[in-house]
Amino acid sequence: MAEKNKVLAAIGYIPPLFWIPLFLAGEDELSKYHGRQALVVFAAAALTVLAFRILQLILGWIKPIGTAFWVVEGFLYLVYIAISIVAAIRAANGKRWRIPILGVYSDRLNI
């Protein structure tokens, strides 16, 4: 794997830049693999934001529930950040790493 493609694969884990390894790395399979995973992580984080905003609108006025939503949402963001960091390091080293739970969905993408 070319050094350039390792960098492109790692950059893809910066949230809105998942498209870089998908479209700029050519036919390099490892870059595309990491690009698909970065897309799934980005989509999961975006869906988390949407879901918690809707829940805040519906139940956020109840103080203990609203506070619990913020705590859980913050924890999930930390998990997404940790996953992205570990995956970016693995991508920079030229290794595959299937992200727990979310990695299954990236295999289904035909990009």
90: Cβ–Cβ under 8 A, 6 or more apart, which residues? 96, 97
Write down the domain spans for the chain.
3-104
Q: What is the pTM of this model?
A: 0.87
The radius of gyration of the chain from alpha carbons, rounded to an integer in Å, stands at: 16
Burial zone of 5 (CB within 10 Å; 0-12 exposed, 13-18 middle, 19+ buried): buried
Q: How many CB atoms are closer than 10 A to CB 83?
A: 21
* φ, ψ (nearest 5 deg) of residue 5: -70, -30
Q: Dump pLDDT digits (tens) for 28-66.
A: 899 999 999 999 999 999 999 999 999 989 987 888 988
Average pLDDT, stretch 76-88? 94
